[in-house]
Amino acid sequence: MLIVGLNAYHGDVAAAVLRDGELVAALEEERFSRIKHVSGFPARAVERGLLMANARPEDVDIWAIARGRRVHLLQKAWFAIRHRPGAGLLDQYRNTAGKSAGIPDVIAATFHLDRATVAARTRYVEHHPAHLASAYRTSGVDEAACCAIDGFGDFVSVSIAHGRHGRMDVLDRVYFPHSLGLVYLAITQYLGFKKYGDEYKVMGLAPYGSPRHAEAIHQLLQLDTGGGFRLNLDYFRHWTGEATMTWNAGEPNVPDVYTDRLIDLLGPGRHPDEPVTSRHEDLAASVQRVFEDAAFHVLGGVHQKVPVDTLCLAGGCAMNSVANGKIRQNTPFRTVFIQPAAGDNGTALGAALEAWHGSGERAPSPRMEHSYWGTEYSDTAIAEVIRTSGVVAQGRCHLTTIESEAALCDATAALLAAGNVVGWYQGRMEWGARALGNRSILADPRRRDMRDIINQKIKFRERFRPFAPSILAEAIEEYFIDAVHDPFMIQVYPVRPEKREVIPAVTHVDGSGRLQSVSQTSNPRYWALIRAFHAHTGVPVLLNTSFNENEPIVERPEQALDCFLRTDMDVLVMGSHMLRKPS
C-alpha cells in the first residue's frame, strides 16, 4: 500500500510517503520553492517523494490530508452565538473549508489524474490527531500520554490522547479562541518580529533578559484546574475577524493578533527596524517564563488524565526547545519523545500514519531514530555541478577529492580545528526545521568569536541568535547536566559549568545549549567527523547551524555551492569533494 500524507494550504506545507507502513520520504515544500514556511499545495514535495519511492501519482492508494471535514460543528456554533465574530473570520472559515474540500481536485489537476479516482482514494485526518499520530506513531513505545499544543488547527489548540497498543483515544481538547501559541505569537509580533515562524527569535533572545514583566503578561491568560486555561480575549483580535490569516500560496501572512490593550499594559511595541534593547530582552524572557508555566500546567493535567511515564509531544509549541528540556524537571513525565518536524509540517507524516493504521490491524511503527528522510545527490552529480560551475577552472576554488571516509573526516576536522568555517553537504536532507549534520555549516566551538563571525559574515542575522552543539552521544554526560540522547536538536540543557569555557561558541548567555547528540548508527559519517575533531582537539563537539543564509536550508548541490560562494565560508565539503577558497 502506497500512502502520501499532505499538509496543504497551511504553513509549512509538506508531504510524506509511506510504502506498506514504512516511511520512504518526508519533504517540506519550502526546500524546493525557496520560500520559508511556504503555504499552498506541496506539489514538488509530492513529486520528489514519489520519485524516491520509485512510484507515480497514479500508484498512490491513499491520499491522506491533514485536514478535518465538518468537524467540531457544535463548538463552532457555540462560539459564533457567544462571540458574534465579524464577517472576516466567517469568510476565512468558508475559504478554509473550500480549500480543504477542493484538495482532491488540486491533486487530480496537478498530476493529471482522474478526479473521481482521487476523491475515492482521499482520507481526511483532522489536524490535531495528525499531530498526535506524528509523535506517538514514531515513538516506538506501546503506551504514552500524547499531547499536541499549537496555535490552531481545525478549531483546536490543545489535544490530549492516550496512546496504547497502537490505538490513540482522544480524551480532551482546548478549542478556539483559546491558545498558548497565540500568547507567544502576540508578544513575538509586539516585539517587532512579524514574519511567520519568528517565535524562535524570541526564544533565543529570552536568556539575555530577566522575566520582570512576567506578572503583567500573565494577565493575558488564566490557568484553570485540571490543566486547563483561557485567554483574556480583551488582549487579542484573532477571534473577532479583524486579523485573518492567508494560506493560499507563497509566504504565510499573519496580521498582528494583539489589541491596543496590550500596548496599554506593556507600553509601545518595537518597530521591526528599531534596535533590540534590554527592555525587549526582558519582555522576551517574560513571555518565555509565562509560556513555560502554562505549558507545564497543561502537561500536569495531561498526566492526571494519562498517568504514565512517557509523553509524546507535538504541535508548533513543541518546537520550544527551551521548555522541552525542562519537562522532566517540571512535570511527572520521565521520558519525552518529540519527532523532528513537530510543527505543521509533521501533520503530513501523522496523516499518512493514521491512514495506514486505520486501514487494518497494524503492528506499532518503529521508533524514528534519525531525520534523514529527504533528497540525496550522488557524488557523480555533485562532481558535475562543480565542473559546470567553472569555479575551479576560474581559480575561485581549489578542489580536492578524498574518497576514503576516514581521510575525508580527518582532513575536514583539521580544517575546523584551524578555525575554518565549513559547509558540510552529505547524504539525505533532513526532515524538520533543524540541520542535523547533512545540510550544516560547521565550526570550532572552542573559539569565543566564532558566533559573531558566522552571524555577521555568513548568516547575516541577529547577534543574539545562538548556535547549537553537535556532540558525540557517548559524551553527553561529560558536557551537559541531566541531558538525554536527542538526535533531533529539540531540547535545551545546561552546559556543565566547567565546560562552558571549553565550548563558548555554542554555550548560550544563560549557560545552556540546544544539543544534538550524534550516534554512530544514526549518522555514521557525521559521527566520524566529530570523532576526528575530538582526536585533533580533545573536544567531542562541533558548532552546527543550518546550511543557508536567510533562506530555506539548501536542497540541491547548486544551492550549497551558491551559498558557499556568496558568504565567507572557507571550505565546502559535498560528498567526497572538498572546495577551498584561495587564501
Is there a single domain that holds both residue 528 and residue 397?
Answer: yes
Average pLDDT over residues 559-570: 97
pLDDT of 225 over the 80 cut = yes
Same domain, 388 and 331: no
Q: What is the pLDDT of residues 153-168, one digit of tens each?
A: 999 999 999 999 999 9
**Cβ of 431: how many Cβ atoms within 10 Å?**
28
Mean pLDDT of the chain: 95
298, 327, 357 - which closes a domain: 357
List, in sequence order, every residue forming a beta bridge with 231; answer none if it has no partner. Answer: 221
The residue among 192, 219, 193, 197 whose CA lies nearest residue 286 is 219
Q: Are 351 and 129 in contact (CB under 8 A)?
A: no
Does residue 143 belong to any structural domain of this protein? no
> Cell 508531504, residue?
15
| Of 151-155, 196-200, 256-260, 361-365, the least confident | 361-365
Q: Is residue 62 domain-shared with residue 160, that is, in the same domain? A: no
Q: How many other C-beta atoms lie within 10 A of the C-beta of residue 56?
A: 12
How distant is the alpha carbon of residue 496 from its chain centre? 26
Nearest-angstrom CA–CA distance, 433 and 553: 9
Question: Contact 59/19 with Cβ under 8 angstroms?
Answer: no
- The H or E element containing residue 417 is helix 405-417
Output the DSSP codes for 57-124.
GGG-SEEEES--SS-SHHHHHHHHHHH---HHHHHHHHHHHHHHHHHHHHHHHHHT--HHHHHHTEEE
Q: Which of 316, 268, 287 lies closest to 202, judged by CA? A: 287
Please identify which residue in the block is written with the cell numbers 531525520: 371
For 309-368, write each residue's pLDDT tens digit. Answer: 999 999 999 999 999 999 999 999 999 999 999 999 999 999 999 999 988 878 778 999
In a domain, 130, yes or no: yes
* Structural domains counted in the chain: 3
Q: At 386, is the secondary structure helix, strand, or coil?
A: helix
The torsion angles phi and psi of 167, rounded to 5 degrees, stand at -100, 150
Specify whether 161 is located in the same domain as 62. no
Structural domain boundaries enclosing 561: 379-580
* Alpha-carbon Rg for the chain in angstroms: 23
Q: Does residue 415 share a domain with residue 472?
A: yes
Contacts of 34 (CB under 8 A, 6+ apart): 551, 552
Give a yes or no: residue 365 inside a domain.
no
* Total residues found in the chain within this entry: 583
Instruction: Please write the tens of the pLDDT for every residue from 428-484.
Output: 999 999 999 999 999 999 999 999 899 888 888 888 889 999 999 999 999 999 999
C-alpha cell at 288: 518565555
* Domain match, 38 and 108 both: yes
Alpha-carbon span 261 to 529, nearest angstrom: 53
Residue 490: closest CA among 351, 298, 346: 346
| Confidence grade of residue 249 (pLDDT, cut at 50, 70, 90) | confident
Percent of the chain whose predicted confidence (pLDDT) is above 90: 89
Q: Note the pTM of the prediction, 2 decimals.
A: 0.96
Tell me which residue of 560, 565, 552 sits closest to 37, measured CA to CA. 552
130 and 166 within one domain? no
Distance, CA of 277 to chain centre: 28
The domain spanning residue 74 has which CATH number?
Answer: 3.30.420.40
- Residue 555 pLDDT more than 90? yes
Give CA separation, 322 vs 99, 170, 285, 286, 329, in Å.
35, 27, 11, 13, 12
Spatial contact of 295 and 323, defined as CB atoms under 8 Å apart: yes
Q: Would residue 499 count as lying in a domain? A: yes
Same domain membership, residue 164 and residue 243: yes
Please check whether residues 390 and 316 belong to one and the same domain: no
Please report the pLDDT score of residue 449 as a whole number: 93
Residues 153 and 302 occupy one common structural domain: yes
pLDDT digit string (tens) for 487-538? 999 999 999 999 999 999 999 999 999 999 999 999 999 999 999 999 999 9
- Inter-residue contact 315 to 7 (CB < 8 Å): no
* Residue closest to 31 by CA, chosen among 559, 578, 563, 555: 555
Rounded to the nearest angstrom, the gap between the alpha carbon of residue 174 and the centroid of all alpha carbons in its chain is 22
Query: Which of 158, 444, 498, 99 lies closest to 300 in space, CA to CA?
Result: 158
* Residue pair 236/177 in contact by the 8 Å Cβ criterion: yes
Given this model, what pLDDT does residue 520 score? Answer: 97
Tell whether 491 is covered by a domain.
yes
In a domain, 307, yes or no: yes
Note whether 109 and 182 are same-domain residues. no
550: left (phi over 0), alpha (psi -120 to 50) or beta: left
Three state DSSP letters for 18-50? EECCEEEEEEECHHHHCCCCCECCCHHHHHHHH
Note whether 214 and 327 are same-domain residues: yes
Q: What is the CATH number of the domain that holds 426?
A: 3.90.870.20
Domain final residue, candidates 297, 322, 357: 357
8 Å CB contact between 189 and 221:
no
**Does residue 98 have a pLDDT over 90?**
no
Tell me, yes or no, whether 246 lies in a domain. Answer: yes
Q: Are 564 and 464 in contact (CB under 8 A)?
A: no
Q: Is 317 helix (H, G, I), strand (E, B) or coil?
A: helix
Q: Is residue 535 in some structural domain?
A: yes
Among 571, 481, 473, smallest CA distance to 524 is for: 473
Which bin fits 341, alpha (ψ -120 to 50), beta or left (φ > 0)? beta
* pLDDT range class, residue 288, cuts 50, 70, 90: very high
